[in-house]
């Protein structure tokens, strides 16, 4: 019952309160009375009910309701009807003003309410006991209303704060989901773009050498199959993460040690790739190693796609060479991938999704990316500088 009442609207609550007060003031009119007690007439009962009726609007006009009930109570005095054990209607109206009224309404209630209480006591018994009880009752009800008002304000503040925190949590969850989607998009782009580029290059070269050099054609088809299998493994791993399947087989993330195999795979396409280093290699955090690997992978993929790398498929294309160079400075690692292919000039106009992914990966570690034509405007050069984040792992580029 109380839960339903708390969940109801203000008008419903006011109606219920009015009905309860009406039932309370009716009791003196229906219970047996002493022979010398004031008569319970219909006129006095009607005036008593008239003093209760304004409670229906107590939430909408607290002070007006209190004044109306006070006026009805004064009008009841000449009737000399049955008295009430408690002034129910005035107390409920006083509580409502203290709990819901504005500052000016509360001030008016205190300033004029106390004299009215004193006049009522003087008109009835004019005893010290009655004065003490009436003032105590007035103060207790008023303070209870103020405490209720304070509690409601505190509850509203807590609910507002909770709503703000929930909005902030949802916004952060959306940002985290967006970051995760971007990360997965980069991973899928790197894996698929590299694998498909290798497969295309090998597939284009295969028909040209299938009769003149069967062994080379067989190697090309093996490379296509290997690139496809590697792409499938990587895709299964990423889809397993998306589906949150604990049983999905997980392959290790690439590291710097995997650069040797990556370069070897690209060399099988006929592209001349060199991997060199300068300075003392150090052990990096796992996520930085993944970034370096993906940067080199994407740069080599761009060469395969844009630099006329397949000399067998284009008789006018010269042999393209690519250098991958890692420079270990005291405070940073510089990764440079440079080629002399003619087709790479198309990237200088702004780059595609792969170059955007390289920039995003570098920015995630506080690094920078410089990309553009190579010396003399020939080829294309991508330089990534990453602050060194040392890890306790033991795997480095040998």
Q: What is the pLDDT of residues 202-227, one digit of tens each?
A: 666 666 666 666 776 667 677 777 77
The side-by-side arrangement of strands in the sheet containing 272-278 is 272-278, 321-328, 332-339, 380-387, 368-373
Establish if 353 belongs to a structural domain. Answer: yes
Residues 236, 346 within the same domain = yes
Does 12 reside within a domain? yes
310 touches 269 (CB < 8 A): yes
pLDDT digits 0-9 by tens, 247-306: 444 556 788 888 998 888 888 877 889 999 999 988 888 888 888 998 998 888 888 776
Confidence bin at 1 (pLDDT 50/70/90)? low
pLDDT number for residue 199: 72
Is 322 in a helix, a strand, or coil? strand
State whether the Cα torsion 46-51-57-61 is positive or negative.
Answer: positive
Token pair 């290798």: residue: 198
- The CATH number that applies at residue 270 is 3.30.565.10
Over 80: is that where the pLDDT of 182 sits?
A: no
Tell me how crowded residue 109 is: count the other CB atoms within 10 A of its CB. Answer: 23
Give the C-alpha separation, 361 to 57, whole Å. Answer: 65
Lowest mean pLDDT among 23-27, 244-248, 314-318: 314-318
- Shared domain check, 71 and 188: no
- Per the domain annotation, does 198 fall within a domain? yes
- Rounded mean pLDDT, 361-371: 88
- pTM beyond 0.85, yes or no: no
If residue 369 lies in a helix (H) or strand (E), which one and from where to where? strand 368-373
Task: Among 92, 126, 160, give the residue marking a domain's end.
Answer: 126
| Judgement on whether residues 228 and 111 belong to the same structural domain of the protein | no
> Which residues in 204-301 belong to E strands, given as ranges?
272-278
Confidence at residue 368, expressed as pLDDT on a 0 to 100 scale: 92
- Does the residue 164 lie in any domain? no
- 137 lies in a domain? no
Mean pLDDT confidence for 127-138:
90
Asked whether 253 and 290 are in contact (CB, 8 A), the reply is yes
Provide the domain limits for residue 252: 170-387
102 and 202, same domain (yes or no): no
Are 179 and 120 members of one domain? no
For 17, the token pair is 């309160």
Domain stop point among 69, 92, 126: 126
Pairing of strands 332-339, 321-328: antiparallel
Q: What is the mean pLDDT of the chain?
A: 79
* 29 close to 40: Cβ distance less than 8 angstroms: yes
Task: Measure the CA–CA gap between 328 and 343, rounded to whole angstroms.
Answer: 30
Average pLDDT over residues 51-61: 91
Same domain, 208 and 76: no
């Amino acid at each position: 019952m109380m839960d339903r009442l708390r969940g109801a609207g203000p008008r419903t609550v006011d109606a219920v309160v009015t009905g309860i007060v009406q039932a309370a003031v009716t009791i003196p009119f229906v219970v047996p009375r002493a022979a010398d007690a004031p008569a319970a007439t219909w006129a006095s009962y009607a005036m008593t009910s008239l003093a209760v009726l304004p409670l229906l609007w107590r939430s909408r006009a607290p002070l007006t309701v209190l004044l109306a009930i006070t006026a009805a109570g004064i009008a009841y005095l000449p009737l000399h009807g049955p008295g009430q054990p408690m002034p129910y209607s005035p107390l409920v109206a006083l509580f409502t003003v203290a709990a819901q009224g504005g500052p000016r309404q509360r001030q008016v209630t205190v300033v004029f309410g106390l004299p009215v209480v004193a006049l009522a006591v003087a008109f009835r018994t004019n005893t010290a006991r009655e004065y003490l009880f009436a003032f105590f009752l007035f103060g207790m009800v008023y303070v209870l209303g103020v405490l209720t008002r304070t509690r409601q304000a505190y509850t509203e503040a807590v609910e507002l704060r909770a709503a703000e925190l929930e909005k902030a949590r949802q916004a952060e969850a959306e940002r985290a989901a967006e970051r995760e989607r971007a990360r997965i998009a980069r991973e899928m782009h790197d894996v698929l773009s590299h694998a498909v580029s290798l497969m295309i290059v090998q597939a284009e070269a295969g028909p040209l050498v299938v009769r003149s050099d069967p062994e080379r054609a067989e190697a090309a088809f093996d490379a296509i199959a290997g690139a496809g299998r590697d792409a499938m493994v990587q895709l299964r791993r990423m889809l397993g993460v998306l589906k949150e399947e604990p049983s999905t087989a997980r392959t290790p993330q690439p590291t710097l040690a995997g650069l040797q195999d990556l370069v070897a795979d690209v060399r099988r396409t006929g592209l001349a790739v060199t991997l060199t280093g300068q300075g003392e290699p150090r052990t990096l955090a796992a996520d930085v190693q993944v970034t370096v690997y993906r940067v080199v992978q994407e740069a080599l993929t761009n060469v395969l796609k844009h630099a006329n790398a397949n000399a067998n498929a284009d008789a006018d294309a010269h042999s393209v060479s690519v250098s991958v160079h890692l420079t270990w400075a005291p405070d940073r690692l510089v990764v440079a991938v440079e080629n002399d292919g003619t087709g790479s000039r198309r990237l200088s106009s702004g780059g595609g999704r792969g170059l955007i992914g390289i920039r995003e990966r570098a920015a995630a570690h506080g690094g920078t990316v410089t990309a553009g034509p190579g010396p003399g405007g020939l080829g294309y050069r991508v330089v990534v500088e990453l602050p060194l984040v040392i890890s306790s792992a033991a795997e480095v580029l040998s």
